Chains A and B, each alone.
Chain A
Amino acid sequence: MSSIQSLLQILQQRKQKLEAGGQKKYHDKLSLQNKLFVRRRLELLFDKGQYEEDGRFANCLNDELPADGVVTAVGRIHGRTVCVMANDSTVKAGSWGARTVEKIIRIQETAEKMKVPILYLVDSAGARITDQLEMFPNRRGAGRIFYNQVKLSGMIPQVCLLFGPSAAGGAYIPAFCDLVIMVDQNASMYLGSPRMAEKVIGERVSLEEMGGARMHCTISGCGDILAENEEEAIKQAKQYLSYFPANYQEKPSIIAGVAPKEGPCLENMIPTNQNVPFNMYDCIDSLIDKGSFFEIKKLFAAELITGLARIDGKVVGIIANQPKVKGGVLFVDSADKGARFITLCDAFHIPLLFLADVPGFMIGTKVEKAGIIRHGAKFIAAMSSATVPKISVIIRKAYGAGLYAMAGPGFEPDCCVALPTAQIAVMGPEAAVNAVYSNKLSEIKDSKEKLAFMLEKQKEYQDTIDIYKLASELIIDDIVAPNDLRNFLVTRFALYETKEMTFSSRKHPVYPV
Chain B
Amino acid sequence: MSEIKAIMAGTVLMIQVNQGESISVGQEVVILESMKMAIPIESRESGEVTKILVSVGDFVNEGDVLMTIK
Residues of A whose CB lies within 8 Å of any CB of B are 275-277, 323, 326-329, 331, 359-360, 362-367, 428, 430-431
- Return the chain A residue nearest B8 by Cβ: A326
B38 touches A326 (CB 8 A): no
* Residue interface mask B25-53, A partner, CB < 8 A = 1: 00000000011111110000000000000
B38, B39, B62: the one contacting A366 at CB < 8 Å is B62
A326 touches B36 (CB 8 A): no
The answer, yes or no, to whether B61 is at the interface (CB within 8 Å) is yes
B37 touches A275 (CB 8 A): yes
A323, A326, A428, A430: the one contacting B7 at CB < 8 Å is A326
Q: Among residues 2 to 42 in chain B, which have CB atoms less than 8 Å away from a CB atom of chain A?
A: 7-9, 34-40
- Return the chain B residue nearest A326 by Cβ: B8
CB distance from B65 to the nearest CB of A (A): 15
A275 to B32, CA, bound (A): 12
From known contacts A277-B40, A366-B62, infer whether A327 and B34 are also in contact, taking CB-CB under 8 Å. yes
B35 touches A359 (CB 8 A): yes
- What class of interface size applies to chain B in its complex with A? 10 to 19
Apart from A359-B36, A364-B9, what are 8 other A-B pairs with CB-CB below 8 Å?
A326-B7, A326-B34, A327-B35, A328-B37, A359-B37, A362-B35, A428-B36, A430-B36
A210 to B62, CA, bound (A): 21
B36 touches A275 (CB 8 A): yes
B38 touches A277 (CB 8 A): yes
- In the complex, 16 of the A-B residue pairs with CB atoms within 8 angstroms, ordered by the A residue number, are A275-B38, A276-B38, A277-B38, A277-B40, A327-B34, A327-B39, A328-B37, A331-B8, A359-B35, A359-B36, A360-B35, A362-B8, A363-B35, A364-B9, A366-B62, A430-B36
- Return the chain B residue nearest A273 by Cβ: B38
B40 touches A329 (CB 8 A): no
A326 to B10, CA, bound (A): 10
Interface centre among B35, B37, B38, B40, by most chain A C-beta atoms within 10 angstroms, is B35
- Return the chain A residue nearest B33 by Cβ: A275
A212 to B8, CA, bound (A): 25
A430 to B7, CA, bound (A): 23
A326 touches B39 (CB 8 A): yes
Enumerate chain B residues within 8 angstroms of A431, measured Cβ to Cβ. 36
A477 to B9, CA, bound (A): 36
A327 to B9, CA, bound (A): 12
A327 touches B62 (CB 8 A): no
A276, A323, A329, A365: the one contacting B34 at CB < 8 Å is A329
- Return the chain B residue nearest A360 by Cβ: B35
B61 touches A327 (CB 8 A): no
A326 to B34, CA, bound (A): 9
A329 touches B38 (CB 8 A): no
B37 touches A277 (CB 8 A): yes
